[in-house]
Amino acid sequence: MRILIAEDEPAFRQILEKILTGWGYEVQVAEDGSAAYRILSGEDAPRLAILDWKMPGMEGVEICRRMRAEKPEHYLYLILLTSQQREEDLVQGMEAGADDYLIKPFRLNELRVRLRAGRRIIELNEELLAARAVLQEKATHDALTGLENREEILDALDKELARVERDGGCFTIIMADLDHFKQVNDTHGHLAGDEVLRTTAQRMLRLMRPYDSVGRYGGEEFLMVLPECCGGCARAFAERLRAGIADRPMDTTEGALKVTMSLGVAASGVVAGRDGARGLLKAADDALYQAKAKGRNRVEV
Ligand code: GH3
Ligand code: MG
Ligand code: MG
Ligand code: MG
Ligand code: MG
């Protein structure tokens, strides 16, 4: 674990650095308060900091106050260092956001166990963040394909509608549906069907730009939102998607399966503003219906 030592007295700083390094910590040092503040608010800051109260540039207590106001994503465990005479200021220090304090001169044993307490808090915080990320992923993504789920992709659509209303420009949505997918399940089993869904998702992702969104809209139906891609761009993209699925059989445990997809394209300029997301979804759905009616494995606008 990395620790920041912010201390303006060189001798004291060096002693602390030596001790902590000896205990196996990776140590970063700051010679004044503003350097410490810069490090703590920067990318990849240490999670644990020992801050001298009295420092040029910025006092340790002020650093505590600022870091708590900024609320970085990872919890920062802050230990204030103060001299005996300022013991009465400790309440102020803790109120400013320090987690703990040490009064100079302090005993090594005390420093060691206080650091251990800090590490426990940091580890708990990391577990909490990891659990939250898992929950967040579950709430917004489809477990089978890893694509956005229906709510999330509809959310992306609403955001894109709001964006073009504000900034102008255009976007396109594509509704895509695997052809005769029921037959895949019936002939090769549901598990092979699942593999086909996963491969379809991967192939679509590979063809998309980083700022495009794709979600699993229904069982074997996908919705894409393509910012700043309209007219010929959208049609060409839908055609690439179609070919990306049809041109190469998909490997499954039941062997290589030929799969095709039909796509309906709708551009924001046509319906957006009139009846928003619903109108656009209906236009894409109608186009998809046309693609199915005209024989499948094709794109309709
Ligand atoms: P069409 O070309 O008209 O779209 O025909 P289709 O067979 O693809 O359409 P239909 O709506 O009749 O059938 C869709 C099938 O998709 C039925 C359903 O069991 C299957 N399906 C939906 N979700 C999943 C899933 O998560 N896994 C698997 N394996 N199959 C799924
Ligand atoms: Mg000092
Ligand atoms: Mg259907
Ligand atoms: Mg289908
Ligand atoms: Mg369907």
Q: Which ligand is nearest to the CA of 293?
A: 1
Q: Which atom of ligand 1 is nearest to the CA of 185?
A: 29
Provide the β-strand partners of residue 267: 172
| Residue 135: per-residue pLDDT | 97
The whole-chain average pLDDT of the chain stands at 94
- C-alpha atoms less than 13 angstroms from C-alpha of 295 in its C-beta half-sphere: 1
What mean pLDDT comes out for the span 277-293?
96
Q: Which ligand is nearest to the CA of 185?
A: 1
Q: Could you tell me the distance, in angstroms and rounded to a whole number, from the CA of residue 211 to the centre of ligand 4?
A: 26
Is 80 exceeded by the pLDDT of residue 272?
A: no
Is 80 exceeded by the pLDDT of residue 269?
A: no
Q: Which atom of ligand 1 is nearest to the CA of 196?
A: 29
**Strand order across the 299-300 sheet:** 213-218, 221-227, 171-178, 261-267, 299-300
Burial class (CB in 10 A: 0-12, 13-18, 19+), 30: buried
- Main-chain phi, psi angles of 292, to 5 degrees: -65, -45
Q: Could you tell me the distance, in angstroms and rounded to a whole number, from the CA of residue 284 to the centre of ligand 3?
A: 14
Enumerate the active-site residues.
Answer: 220
- Kindly state the tokens that stand for 274: 């009139």
Distance CA 140, CA 215 (A): 10
Q: Is the dihedral of CA 89, 91, 95, 97 positive or negative?
A: positive
Is 90 exceeded by the pLDDT of residue 90?
A: no
Calculate the CA 250 to chain-centre distance: 30
Give this prediction's pTM: 0.80
| Residue 271: per-residue pLDDT | 60
Contact 78, 5 (CB under 8 A): no
Task: List all residues 6 or more positions away from 279 whose beta carbon is below 8 Å from its beta carbon.
Answer: 271, 272
| Residue 296: per-residue pLDDT | 98
What mean pLDDT comes out for the span 206-220?
97
- Kindly state the tokens that stand for 174: 């594509």
Per-residue pLDDT reduced to its tens digit, 118-164 = 999 999 999 999 999 999 999 999 999 999 999 999 999 999 999 99
Q: Which atom of ligand 1 is nearest to the CA of 179?
A: 2
Contact 196, 204 (CB under 8 A): no
Q: For residues 105 and 109, which has the higher predicted lDDT (pLDDT)? A: 109
Ligand 1: lining residues by beta carbon, under 6 Å = 144, 177-182, 185, 190, 193-194, 197, 219-220, 292, 296
Computed on alpha carbons and rounded to an integer, the radius of gyration of the chain in Å comes to 29
Q: Could you tell me the distance, in angstroms and rounded to a whole number, from the CA of residue 24 to the centre of ligand 2?
A: 25
Q: Could you tell me the distance, in angstroms and rounded to a whole number, from the CA of residue 8 to the centre of ligand 2?
A: 5
Contact 287, 280 (CB under 8 A): no
Q: Which of 147, 182, 200, 297 to mutate to test the pocket of ligand 1 (most atoms within 8 A of CB)?
A: 182
Range in 50-64, 93-107, 176-190, 261-275 the model is least confident about: 261-275
Q: Tell me, what DSSP letter sits at residue 27?
A: E
- pLDDT band at 105; cut points 50, 70, 90: confident
Is 80 exceeded by the pLDDT of residue 273?
A: no
| Residue 276: per-residue pLDDT | 86
DSSP letters, 229-258, are --THHHHHHHHHHHHHHHSSPEEETTEEE-
Alpha-carbon separation of residue 60 from 63, 80, 110, 244, 282 (angstroms): 5, 7, 20, 58, 59
Provide the β-strand partners of residue 177: 221, 262
